[in-house]
Amino acid sequence: MTEDINKLPAPVQERLLRLQQVQQTLQAIITQKQQIELEIGEIDTALEEMQKTADDCPIYKSVGSILVKTEKSKITTELTERRELLNTRLSVLAKQEERTRTQMKDLQTKLQQDLTPTSSFPTESPPPP
C-alpha cells in the first residue's frame, strides 16, 4: 500500500498524511471528552451521596494512597468547583471536535476530488454513419 501512496502526486500524499493526523487528533479529543464525562459522572455521584449524609457525618478525601478526614462543606465546594472546571473543558473539547470534524470532511472531499479520474480527456466521436 505504501507503494501505491508513493505513486500519488506530492500534494495528494501530503493531504492523505494530513487527513491521518486530523483523524488521530479527533480520536484523542473524543477520548479526552469521554474521560471528562466519566469524571463528571463520578463527581455528581459523590455530591448526591454527600447530600444524603448528615453534616456531622465524617467525610474522608483520598489524597494519594491515604484517606484524610475533611469537612463536608469543604469537599462539596471542591467537587463543585472541579465539576465546573470540567464542564468548561468539555465545552472547549466539543468545539475542538466540531472544528476537527469539519476539517476532516473538507480534507476527505478534496482527496475524493484528487483521486476521482476527471473526464477532461477528449472523447472519441462515434464513427459517421
Evaluate whether residue 125 is within a structural domain. Answer: no
Evaluate whether residue 126 is within a structural domain. Answer: no
Evaluate whether residue 104 is within a structural domain. Answer: yes
Return the C-alpha cell found at 106.
473538507
**Full DSSP string of 21-58:** HHHHHHHHHHHHHHHHHHHHHHHHHHHHHHHHS-TTS-
Do 40 and 86 touch, CB atoms closer than 8 A?
A: yes
Nearest to 44 by CA among 81, 80, 92, 93: 80
Please name the residue that has the C-alpha cell 465524617.
58
Evaluate whether residue 108 is within a structural domain. Answer: yes
Evaluate whether residue 124 is within a structural domain. Answer: no
pTM: 0.77
CATH number at residue 34: 1.10.287.370
Residue 25 is part of which domain span? 7-115
Evaluate whether residue 128 is within a structural domain. Answer: no
Total number of domains in the chain: 1
pLDDT tens digits, 83-126: 999 999 999 999 999 999 999 999 999 988 888 876 444 555 55
Do 66 and 79 touch, CB atoms closer than 8 A?
A: no
pLDDT tens digits, 18-70: 999 999 999 999 999 999 999 999 999 999 999 999 988 999 999 999 999 99
